[in-house]
């Protein structure tokens, strides 16, 4: 049952790729300031769930609501606009723009939303400092370590002060020490700004940073006992 007042919620999501069902009636909810880990084996549907929640793909049936928005009913343009203004993303390999400096990468979402360069770079520098990588501001992604690059990616995701951060295996390409550091900084910064974090992972040590854990298996999402 979806808790009252959820920031983002999904009901009875179904999504198939050809004859193969990825989601088979999945439910999900998250509140502001909450971190929810979505766990499950490879191919269980957890990344498909994240993509439906973020409005990247449409489910075949079911509903996704974000605040007052029926996300599944919005046009592609409206969903894209929400991803620029209200949602932040952290991926396994960072996906930073290699031609830009780390500072410019973090400022990029702000610039795309119309913030002037000087102000965008001021805010970007704040988030690089917050993620403890201000020393790489002038370097390009290829010139920094994997751990530093992923912290830059987290800074980019948080710079626009999103209401929801979607993190898809954010530590999957890192060693355990760097992974722990990235997760600590991500969850601390998100909670301080009251952002919700949807964290897709298959690692128990990463899920331990979440307030709740949801397991996706055979396309169905179930709350893990004792994590609510």
User: What's the rounded Cα separation, in Å, for the pair 144 and 134?
Assistant: 12
What DSSP assignment string belongs to the chain?
-PPTT-SEEEEEEEEEETTEEEEEEEEEEE-TT-EEEEE--TTSSHHHHHHHHTTSS--SEEEEEETTEEGGGS-HHHHHHHHHHTEEEE-TT----TTS-HHHHHHHHHHHTT--HHHHHHHHHHHHHHTT-GGGTTS-GGGS-HHHHHHHHHHHHHHT--SEEEEESTTTTS-HHHHHHHHHHHHHHHHHTT-EEEEE-S-HHHHTTSSEEEEEETTEEEEPTT--
Percentage of the chain surpassing pLDDT 70?
A: 96
pLDDT over threshold 90, residue 94:
no
For domain 1-86+162-228, give the CATH number.
3.40.50.300
Question: Does residue 119 register a pLDDT over 90?
Answer: yes
pLDDT surpasses 70 at 2 = no
Reported as a single tens digit per residue, the pLDDT across 130-179 is: 999 999 999 999 999 999 999 999 999 999 999 999 999 999 888 999 99
Per residue in 4-14, pLDDT (tens digit) is: 579 999 999 99
Q: What is the percent of the chain with per-residue pLDDT over 90, rounded to a whole number?
A: 81
Note whether 24 and 218 are within 8 A (CB): yes
- Bridge partners of 8, per DSSP, are 30, 66
Ordered by start, the domain boundaries in the chain are 1-86+162-228, 101-158
pTM summary value: 0.90
Which residue, 181, 11, 87, is CA-closest to 3? 11
User: What number of other Cβ atoms are within 10 A of residue 85's Cβ?
Assistant: 14
């Amino acid at each position: 049952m979806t808790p009252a007042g959820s920031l983002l919620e999904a009901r009875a999501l179904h999504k198939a790729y050809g004859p193969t069902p990825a989601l088979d009636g999945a439910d999900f909810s998250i509140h502001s300031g909450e971190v929810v880990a979505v766990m499950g084996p490879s191919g269980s549907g957890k990344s498909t769930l994240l993509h439906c929640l973020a409005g990247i793909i449409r489910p075949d049936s079911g509903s996704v609501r974000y605040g007052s928005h029926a996300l599944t009913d919005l046009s592609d343009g409206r969903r894209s606009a929400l991803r620029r203004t209200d949602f932040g993303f952290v991926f396994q390999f960072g996906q930073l723009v290699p031609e830009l400096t780390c500072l410019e990468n973090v400022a990029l979402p702000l610039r795309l939303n119309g913030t002037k360069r000087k102000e965008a770079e001021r805010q970007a520098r704040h988030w690089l400092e917050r993620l403890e990588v201000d020393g790489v501001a002038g370097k390009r992604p290829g010139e920094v370590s994997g751990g530093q690059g992923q912290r830059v990616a987290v800074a980019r995701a948080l710079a626009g002060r999103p209401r929801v951060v979607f993190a898809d295996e954010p530590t999957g390409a890192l060693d355990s020490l760097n992974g722990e550091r990235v997760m600590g900084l991500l969850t601390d910064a998100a909670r301080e700004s009251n952002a919700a974090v949807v964290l897709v992972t298959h690692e128990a040590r990463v899920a331990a940073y979440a307030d709740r854990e949801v397991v996706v298996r055979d396309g169905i999402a179930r709350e893990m006992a004792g994590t609510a």
